């Protein structure tokens, strides 16, 4: 994913999130307070990347129309495309049935991956063996 190529926004003060309480109540966060967010091209269904969001990053994503992620390595927020110009313009956000994963449908401008590839999944597939005939 692209946190190394994009600049970070200033971290929010603790407790400053204005995330809708009903949405916040449905989120099942990991021990660091994060939820994985899958970015998908809204019109083709192409899976672009996986990033991480806390309540504040999700709030910023929902209110600005641009994907904001939390960089686990740098420990700061980053807005996709602030430096690279490879924007993710938010079309919709959904929470899965378990409340532990977000699906963010975006209009991706340019590459989604920090390597310059269209998606972070362009590096090649992993061979899948055929299932045994008796299954």
Ligand-binding annotation for 67, yes or no, is no
Query: Is there a binding annotation on residue 30?
Result: no
Per the document, the length of the chain is 135
Question: Per the annotation, does 113 bind a ligand?
Answer: yes
d(CA 106, CA 87): 9
CA torsion angle 29 71 125 87 (round to 10): 110
Cα four-point dihedral sign 45, 48, 51, 55: negative
Ramachandran category for residue 74: left, alpha or beta (phi over 0 → left; psi -120 to 50 → alpha) = alpha
- Is 97 part of any known ligand binding site? yes
Residue 96 annotated as lining a ligand binding site = yes
- The reply to whether 134 sits in an annotated binding site is no
Annotated binding-site members: 96-98, 100, 113, 120
Binding-site residue numbers for Zn(2+) are 97, 113, 120
Q: Which residues participate in the annotated binding site for Mg(2+)? A: 96, 98, 100
């Amino acid at each position: 994913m692209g946190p190394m190529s994009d600049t970070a926004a200033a971290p929010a003060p603790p407790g400053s999130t204005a995330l809708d309480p009903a949405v916040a109540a449905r989120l099942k966060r990991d021990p660091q307070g994060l939820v994985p967010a899958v970015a998908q091209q809204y019109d083709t269904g192409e899976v672009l990347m996986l990033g991480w969001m806390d309540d504040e990053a999700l709030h910023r994503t929902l209110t600005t129309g641009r994907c904001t992620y939390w960089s686990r390595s740098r420990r700061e927020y980053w807005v996709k495309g602030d430096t690279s110009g490879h924007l993710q313009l938010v079309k919709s956000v959904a929470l899965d049935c378990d409340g532990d994963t977000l699906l963010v449908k975006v209009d991706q401008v340019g590459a989604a991956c920090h390597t310059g590839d269209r998606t972070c999944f362009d590096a090649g597939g992993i061979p899948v063996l055929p299932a045994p005939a008796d299954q």
